[in-house]
Amino acid sequence: MLSVDVAIVGGGPVGLAFARSLAGSGLTIAVVEQQPAAALAEPAFDGREIALTHASRHCMERLGWWAQLPAADISPLRQAKVMNGHSPFALDFAAPRAGDALGWLVPNQLIRRVAFAAVRSQPGLHWLQGRSLGTLAEGERVTRLQLSDGSRVEAGLLVAADSRFSATRRLLGIGARQRDFGKTMLVCRMRHELPHQQAAWEWFGHGRTMALLPLQGNRAGAVLTLPAARVAELQAMDEAEFGAAVTECFEGRLGAMWPDGSRHAYPLVGVYADRFVGRRAALIGDAAVGMHPVTAHGFNFGLQGQARLAETVLAARAQGRDIAAEAVLRGYDRAHRRATLPLYEATNAIAALYTDERLPARLLRDAALRVAARVAPFKRAIAAHLTQRTAPVAR
């Protein structure tokens, strides 16, 4: 049986960020991940472009990730636009200072690659790849895990980082509020005729929601949120048909559009765990909070959460306390809940209003955008939130 201080279930970027945050602490760590090492070292393109705030970039710099990203694959985000229906009006957000970026867009598979590279040879870290968690038994001082291949691990602290559909969360007996929005997201890269001016779009159309994520040159990540049947139709189209369909979705506002790579579909489900901690266990990343993508905060919350938990664990260790004691983990739970719950609820409310096709809702959402556009302090506050270098610490 392998005995470690910390077992992390899930080798995605948030789980690996937490492992990296504990580097040099003397804590022994095991990472349990279903994928083989080759898939972690060279992840396949999955269509997702991750929007990073200034605080997330700062976190990635501390982790040693940012410098490893190819500069040509980092796309600055200068402006954000929110649009409604067929109206040409847009609520605009820009960085407080001219020339600054609101944030950056980085392909998900590159983040995964540098995350794995940063920890693959980390001292005291044990890789348990190609395996998943089967069962667990909670003890007084340790949690015992049995993996899918029959091997066993004994850990002082168990950390679940295995997606918003976390099997570990369920094994811990922690429930979650799940909101199935009944839609599917189709994500892909597109080339287009007209320049995007480094502006991201969130466009609440009639019967569909579109997002445009500006990449280098006249290229963008496109996100189409539609009923599953319509997504299946789009997936079945050839490249010419698909390009014409996406051009029509975006009403030709960037001229003609052509596919630039593979298409990927994901169910749209929001998740908020009832608790972020259990007995000698904690949840991070999407296992704790799985956001609707409309505010682009999912991965940013994941980085914040792992940093909070790492700070909590390292402080307890420095004080000679049990790193998985209930009182220790309760502090992380309170802090992360205060930092995430307001935006989670607000995001769901925005999604509900702006996807409601009834006439009163259509009128209300258009009016709301126009009122917000006239409230300068509101726009400055949003921009300041995105560009602050460190995330606010909730105690």
pLDDT of residue 84: 83
**What pLDDT digit, counting tens, does each position of 90-142 carry?**
788 777 666 689 999 999 999 999 999 999 999 999 999 999 999 999 888 99
Coil, strand or helix: which one is 83? strand
Q: Quick check: helix, strand or coil at residue 383?
A: helix
Cα 94 → chain centroid: 22
Tell me the CB-side half-sphere exposure of residue 136, using CA atoms within 13 A. Answer: 28
pLDDT at 354 > cutoff 90 = no
Q: Among 96-100, 246-250, 309-313, 320-324, whose mean pLDDT is lowest? A: 96-100
pLDDT band (50, 70, 90) for residue 278: very high
Could you give the dihedral angle defined by the CA atoms of residues 229, 235, 352 and 196, in that order, rounded to the nearest 10 degrees?
-150
pLDDT of residue 367: 62
Residues 67-95 as b/e (b if ≥16 CB within 10 A, e otherwise) read: eebeeeebbebbbbbbbbeeeeebbebbb
Q: For residue 104, which of 344, 350, 300 has the smallest C-alpha distance?
A: 300
pLDDT at 382: 47
**Look-up of token digits 């959460």:** 305
pLDDT of 389 above 90: no
**Continuous H helices in the chain:** 13-21, 37-41, 54-63, 108-119, 167-171, 228-236, 239-249, 298-318, 326-354, 359-374, 376-387
Q: Three-state SS for 290?
A: strand
Domain-by-domain residue ranges, the chain? 2-178+269-387
Q: Environment class of residue 189 by beta-carbon count within 10 Å: exposed (0-12), middle (13-18) or buried (19+)?
A: buried
Average pLDDT, the chain: 89
Residue 356 clears pLDDT 90, i.e. is over it = no
Radius of gyration of the chain (CA): 21
- Band the pLDDT of 75: cuts 50, 70, 90: very high
pLDDT reported for residue 393: 44
Residues paired with 138 in a beta bridge: 143
Strands 176-192 and 219-226: antiparallel
**383 vs 324, higher pLDDT:** 324
Question: What distance in Å separates the CA atoms of residue 134 and residue 145, rounded to the nearest whole number?
Answer: 7
Amino acid at 319: Q
Higher pLDDT, 31 or 349: 31
Chain position carrying tokens 């930092």: 339
The answer to whether the CB of 81 falls within 8 A of the CB of 200 is yes
Average pLDDT over every residue of 171-188: 93
Confidence label for 181 from pLDDT (cuts 50, 70 and 90): confident
pLDDT of residue 91: 81
Say which CATH architecture domain 2-178+269-387 belongs to. Answer: 3-Layer(bba) Sandwich (3.50)
pLDDT at 343: 85
Distances (CA, A) of 85 to 43, 200, 210, 247, 355: 37, 16, 11, 16, 10
The average pLDDT across 330-350 equals: 89
The mean-pLDDT minimum among 30-34, 234-238, 390-394 falls in: 390-394
Contact 224, 105 (CB under 8 A): no
C-alpha closest to that of 375 among 92, 96, 102, 98: 92
In this predicted model, what pLDDT tens digit does every residue of 281-298 receive, in sequence order?
999 999 999 988 776 678
pLDDT given for residue 373 in this prediction: 57
Q: Are 138 and 146 in contact (CB under 8 A)?
A: no
Give the bridge partners for 75, in sequence order.
105
Integer Cα distance of 384 and 54 in angstroms: 10
- Pick from 126, 376, 175, 128: nearest CA to 287: 175
Q: Does pLDDT of 352 surpass 70?
A: no
Total Cβ atoms within 10 A of residue 365: 19
Q: Are 257 and 218 in contact (CB under 8 A)?
A: no
Contacts of 383 (CB under 8 A, 6+ apart): 93, 94, 95, 96, 102
Residue 169, pLDDT > 50, answer: yes
Q: What is the DSSP letter of 227?
A: -
For residue 191, pLDDT beyond 50: yes
pLDDT of 160 > 90? The answer is yes
Closest CA to 296 of 215, 211, 235: 211
pLDDT at residue 364 is higher than 90: no
In this prediction, residue 381 carries a pLDDT of 47
Looking at the chain, how many residues does it have?
395
* 28-43 average pLDDT score: 95
pLDDT of residue 395: 39
Q: How confident is the model at residue 347 (pLDDT cuts 50, 70, 90)?
A: confident
Is the pLDDT at 392 greater than 50? The verdict is: no
Q: Is the pLDDT of residue 224 over 90?
A: yes
> Of 134-138, 368-372, 373-377, 391-395, which gets the smallest average pLDDT?
391-395
Gap between the Cα atoms of 11 and 112, Å rounded? 9
